Structure 1
């Protein structure tokens, strides 16, 4: 579920760890980023505001993602019943076995171990966000839409990070136009 949301929403790791079940509107099929979950040795795991005001956003996601969220919520309910008074209700999607918020570093460690066990290259959790952005750009989304989807405070941030992807998409679009024109300009 974590990596599904990372890919389809392009969410930051701390945003994913901060998701609560109440952030998912099943009727409108939107997920809203309202908080982040962070860790420091001094404070442990704690909840904080999003990175920027524009990081607070709602994204429409595929309907089947909400089925997975509902299944996860049912699983959490069963865990709660099984643990009884040992359960620590946090409302979070991603928790420790006892229901308390997961350490934001845990998905990184899990993915690294998963890749190693299967002989796959490991690129880190943040690459799911980059893949999301690159796929949006490749499929013709404009910089403003991509920037809003990623929660960047300025489109210049998106352009700086994804310049190559936008250049590749623009070149592909230019070639598509040239391939469709019946007349070749500049020649005889």
Structure 2
């Protein structure tokens, strides 16, 4: 991401530089997202042909069929309609960014990696925004520890990959 689309004081949409240097970054995408973007690129090529001289080439990935930027209010309306059709609760478009970070944290991805993906300039920002998730994960870890201490024979959370000798469990006194 090298620039951002923002509404200016004059009421129009314009591209501006990103907020910080760390906002300019390359982001790895899952294969399914790359495939979806490739299909989108093909559809855009058709839209460009149909728009002909009306096409506005601005380098944006997602635009109206004539290449012009999508109005934020229009994007919000379409997103809200998609949520309703999918019987999902209403959230802001930006909330998907938070959901992604939360899911990554819950999967054990390190905070520094999430900071880089989100483009936060300082890890303190990431740690503060997602402190509630970290606290919940800590509580889950302590609950897991409590169950292990209460009855170690029933608690098996580590997978055996065959490389290490079998673990012995014994009550701690």
TM-score band, normalised by the shorter chain? 0.7 to 0.9
Relative to 1, partners in 2 of residues 1:172 and 1:119: Cα closer, same or farther, differing over 3 Å? closer
Question: In the TM superposition, what is the alpha-carbon distance from 1:108 to its structure 2 partner?
Answer: 1.7
Distance 1:108 1:81 in 2: 27
Distance 1:137 1:72 in 2: 29
Question: In the TM superposition, what is the alpha-carbon distance from 1:127 to its structure 2 partner?
Answer: 1.4
Higher Cα radius of gyration = 2
Report the counterpart of residue 50 of structure 1 in structure 2. Answer: 18
Distance 1:131 1:122 in 2: 13
Conservation of the 8 A alpha-carbon contact between 1:36 and 1:49? yes
Q: Find out whether 1:164 has 2:132 as its counterpart.
A: yes
Deviations 1:105-140 (A, max 9, x none): 432221123334555421111111111011110011
Q: Find out whether 1:80 has 2:48 as its counterpart.
A: yes
Distance 1:145 1:47 in 2: 28
Distance 2:12 2:104 in 1: 35
Report the counterpart of residue 165 of structure 2 in structure 1. Answer: none
Distance 2:139 2:20 in 1: 32
More strand by share: 1
Distance 2:106 2:139 in 1: 11
Q: RMSD in angstroms over aligned alpha carbons?
A: 2.2
Aligned 1:10-25 pairs, distance under 5 A: none
Report the counterpart of residue 149 of structure 1 in structure 2. Answer: 117
Distance 1:134 1:37 in 2: 25
Question: In the TM superposition, what is the alpha-carbon distance from 1:184 to its structure 2 partner?
Answer: 4.3
TM-score between both structures, scaled by the size of structure 2: 0.78
How many residues get paired? 154
Report the counterpart of residue 4 of structure 1 in structure 2. Answer: none
Conservation of the 8 A alpha-carbon contact between 1:39 and 1:104? no
Gaps of 5+ in 1: 1-32
Gaps of 5+ in 2: 149-154, 157-167
Report the counterpart of residue 169 of structure 2 in structure 1. Answer: 182
* Bigger relative CO (Cα 8 Å, ≥ 6 apart): 1
Distance 2:171 2:7 in 1: 59
Q: Find out whether 1:111 has 2:83 as its counterpart.
A: no
